[in-house]
Amino acid sequence: MIKVLNEEKHAQYMLEKKKFLLKRSMSYELRILAKHYIYNEGLNRPKTREKLIEFCKEDSDKFDEIQCRNIINNAVEGAKKYGFVNIEGINITQKELDKIKTLNNIRHERVAFIMLIISKFNNYVYNFKHQDKESEYYLVFDKLSDIFKLAKVSGKQEDRIKIMKRLIDEGFIYMSTACNYKVLFIDEEGEGIIELDDIREFVLLYEKYVGCKVIKCKECGQLVRQKNNRTKYCDECKKEIKNKQNLKSWHKNKDKYEN
């Protein structure tokens, strides 16, 4: 599943923040970090393992080196096998956006937008561009659950199937016999209207385009739905700021608490 467009920049950002940045993606981010140590710093396998363990301990004092041994080893071996995936941006054209808007249903539009992004990502990375007698298309081979997770569209399985059926019926996608999805509304000639260079909450980029209230977190720049005028930060940064304020307050009143 698509998580990071530019792995090299992501590794540098991780080192700058000294922590993992994606939720429930420790093994994925460790592999990216291992690539940094191997390809950018020229470290061998043992030294790379040491660096990864050091990073994990810095991220959390609860890190268990023994329990995570296999995760560390797999990250190093995976990094040695594959180099960095570095994509500067994915362009979405006016023609593609106009096609998506014809769905006139924000949940359906999100799914179509995500499938377009995934297909373009796959084309850049794996060269999964194909053409048949009728049209040119890109492939999506992600699980349905992953597609809807990225689109931030919840619901029962039957609801997901209805959305996918509509996209098929209206010529957005075609499901192949191999259970891959062909995305049929690719426009390679048009000028990019939306340039995607950060996939954190990137479905919100589409919502911003269609007029929904979306802002950038003042701390990290991540897109956030503006629930009200007080919304300034993403949930993670808001939590971090609150923890810092609580710690500052504790130090300020330390003597009072101790007495």
| DSSP 8-state class, residue 49 | H
Q: What is the CATH code for 90-209?
A: 1.10.10.10
- Please give the full DSSP string across 114-134, using - where no structure is assigned: HHHHHHHHHHHHH--EEE-SS
Angle between the N-to-C axes of helices 106-126 and 94-101, in degrees from 0 to 180, rounded to the nearest 10: 150
The reported pLDDT for the residue numbered 36 is 97
> Which pLDDT score, from 0 to 100, does residue 133 have?
52
> Mean pLDDT across the chain, nearest whole number?
88
Q: For residue 73, give every residue at least 6 positions away whose Cβ sits within 8 Å of its Cβ, in sequence order, or none.
A: 49
pLDDT category of residue 236 using cuts at 50, 70 and 90? confident
Kind of pairing between the strands at 192-196 and 214-216:
unpaired
Choice among 33-47, 123-137, 159-173, 183-197 with the minimum mean pLDDT: 123-137
Residue 92 DSSP SS3: strand
| Angle, CA of 212, 213 and 216, to the nearest 5° | 125
d(CA 252, CA 4): 40
Neighbouring C-alpha atoms within 13 Å toward the C-beta of 33: 31
Write the burial class of residue 61 (CB in 10 Å: 0-12 exposed, 13-18 middle, 19+ buried). exposed
pLDDT at position 130: 66
- Look at residue 92 and tell me whether its pLDDT is greater than 70: yes
For residue 141, what pLDDT is reported?
87
Q: Which residues contact 116 (CB under 8 A, 6 or more apart)?
A: 92, 96, 100, 183, 185, 186
Give the tokens for residue 141: 């081979």
* Alpha-carbon gap, residue 27 to 52, rounded angstroms: 11
pTM metric for this prediction:
0.79
What confidence score (pLDDT) does residue 88 get? 82
Sign of the alpha-carbon torsion through 141, 146, 152, 155: positive
pLDDT for res 12: 94
Q: Would you kindly state where each structural domain of the chain is located, as residue ranges?
A: 7-81, 90-209, 214-252
**Structure confidence at residue 256 (pLDDT):** 60
* Residue-wise pLDDT tens digits, 147-198: 998 898 998 999 999 999 999 999 999 988 777 899 999 998 888 888 887 6
